[in-house]
């Protein structure tokens, strides 16, 4: 495995850097979880905010991110302030329990999706902008790569994945192209897949969006089971977090943001409250008891990056931060 730390190739600019840690309201002595360590930007700020007596537990399913952080945070790890966990954040409940911290966590942040390292490093196979093996796994030690999926799945299943996770209107046509192509030669590189789509799907070169964009997004979400991971986190976070603690999630596309918005809304009990007869004389406590409110949304609208942040880091442009304080 390449040494990304020594060659300084692990690059990522944290999105909504201050805002996403501030919203957790961290204090010295708190115990925070960073579900998505990546380049360690948010983890570093969390460590600063909870010092000198607090702790941070940071997850990443990508061993390269973990190895990079082992070097970057060697002192904090040695002093017990930082614990790194190489696991998917869908396992947050089990992992935090194993550390004896269940119910003691005062804030969880998840900055979901891929890092700039994933997109910029051709060998990871995430981007049609760089030619590399069609892999797309965040955890290269397990699961099937995108090229294995495309080599073995039925055409119907490929079309379904491209439609469901990429919302690609030409999903069936693209799935057929892939299956016709694999009879001659399996698709093994990002360039082969991108060129195949670009050569057959009508697109205006002047348009800013490459015609393979949605297919690449879909395959990445499918290969890494990203939406199930998010659903699991949303289900388990209320048991992991101490009363009064905060769950904050940064998402980057509408499929994820919809899940976050609906789950947080449900935790407030609002969904069911709306179905209660309006003329019942109920106190707020009674309503909360009846609707099992588990939390309060911190801001009614998602926080988004400023124009300046987007100018400096265009990859931040679709980020949305939502947060809920749990009871
Ligand atoms: C957008 S980056 C996070 C960047 C980080 N907040 C920073 O400041 O550098 C997302 C990271 O989360 C990891 N990741 C994505 N989904 C994951 C999951 N389900 N479980 C664990 N890690 C995940 C990716 O491997 C990647 O390193």
pLDDT, residue 286, reads 75
Separation between Cα atoms, residue 313 and residue 14, nearest integer Å: 9
Instruction: Report the nearest-CA residue for atom 9 of ligand 1.
Output: 39
> How far from chain centre, in Å, is Cα 242?
22
Pocket of ligand 1, beta carbon within 6 A: 12, 14, 36, 38-42, 59-62, 65, 88-90, 111-113, 115, 138, 229
246-250: average pLDDT? 98
Separation between Cα atoms, residue 106 and residue 260, nearest integer Å: 19
| Nearest C-alpha neighbor of 59 from the set 77, 34, 76 | 34
Query: Do residues 111 and 15 make contact, with C-beta atoms less than 8 angstroms apart?
Result: yes
Ligand 1 geometric centre to CA of 49 (Å): 20
Ranges 125-129, 154-158, 223-227, 288-292: which has the least confidence = 288-292
Ligand 1 geometric centre to CA of 133 (Å): 21
Query: Do residues 194 and 212 make contact, with C-beta atoms less than 8 angstroms apart?
Result: yes
* Whether the domain at 17-116+226-326 and the domain at 141-223 fall into the same CATH topology: no
Ranges 67-81, 185-199, 256-270, 280-294: which has the least confidence = 280-294
Ligand 1 geometric centre to CA of 251 (Å): 11
CATH number of 141-223: 1.10.150.170
Ligand 1 geometric centre to CA of 290 (Å): 37
pLDDT, residue 207, reads 67
What would be the CATH architecture of the domain defined by 17-116+226-326? 3-Layer(aba) Sandwich (3.40)
Tell me which DSSP letter residue 175 carries. Answer: H
Phi and psi at 247, nearest 5°, equal -110, 125
> What is the layout of strands, in order, in the sheet containing 31-34?
82-86, 55-60, 31-34, 105-111, 241-251, 320-326, 295-297
- DSSP letter for each residue of 94-132: HHHHHTT-TT-EEEEEEE-S--HHHHH-GGG---TTS--
pLDDT, residue 292, reads 80
Which residue ranges make up each domain of the chain?
17-116+226-326, 141-223
Phi and psi at 149, nearest 5°, equal -60, -50
Instruction: Report the nearest-CA residue for atom 4 of ligand 1.
Output: 38
Query: Do residues 323 and 299 make contact, with C-beta atoms less than 8 angstroms apart?
Result: yes
Instruction: Report the nearest-CA residue for atom 1 of ligand 1.
Output: 115
> How far from chain centre, in Å, is Cα 125?
18
């Amino acid at each position: 495995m390449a040494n990304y730390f020594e060659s300084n190739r692990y690059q990522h600019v944290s999105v909504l850097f201050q805002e996403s840690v501030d919203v957790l309201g961290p204090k010295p002595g708190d115990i925070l979880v960073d579900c998505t360590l990546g380049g360690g930007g948010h983890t570093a700020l969390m460590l600063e905010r909870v010092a000198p007596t607090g702790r941070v537990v940071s997850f990443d399913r990508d061993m390269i991110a973990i190895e990079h952080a082992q070097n970057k945070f060697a002192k904090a790890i040695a002093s017990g302030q930082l614990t790194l966990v190489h696991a998917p954040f869908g396992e947050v409940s089990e992992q935090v329990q194993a550390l004896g911290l269940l119910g003691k966590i005062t804030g969880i942040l998840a900055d979901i999706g891929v890092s700039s390292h994933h997109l910029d490093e051709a060998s990871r196979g995430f981007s049609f902008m760089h030619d590399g093996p069609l892999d797309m796994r965040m955890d290269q030690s397990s699961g099937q790569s995108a090229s294995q999926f495309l080599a073995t799945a039925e055409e119907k299943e490929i079309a379904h994945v491209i439609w469901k996770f990429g919302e690609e209107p030409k999903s069936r046509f693209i799935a057929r192209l892939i299956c016709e192509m694999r009879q001659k030669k399996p698709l093994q590189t990002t360039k082969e897949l991108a060129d195949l789509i670009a050569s057959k799907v009508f697109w205006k070169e002047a348009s800013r969006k490459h015609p393979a964009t949605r297919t690449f997004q879909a395959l990445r979400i499918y290969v890494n089971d990203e939406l199930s991971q998010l659903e699991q986190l949303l289900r388990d976070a209320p048991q992991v977090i101490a009363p009064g603690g905060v769950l904050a999630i940064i998402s980057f596309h509408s499929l994820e943001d919809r899940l976050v918005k609906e789950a947080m809304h449900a935790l407030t009990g609002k969904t069911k409250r709306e179905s209660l007869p309006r003329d019942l004389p109920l106190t707020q406590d009674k309503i909360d008891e009846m609707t099992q409110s588990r939390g309060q949304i911190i801001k009614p609208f998602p926080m988004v990056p400023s124009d300046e942040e987007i100018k400096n880091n265009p990859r931040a442009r679709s980020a949305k931060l939502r947060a809920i304080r749990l009871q």
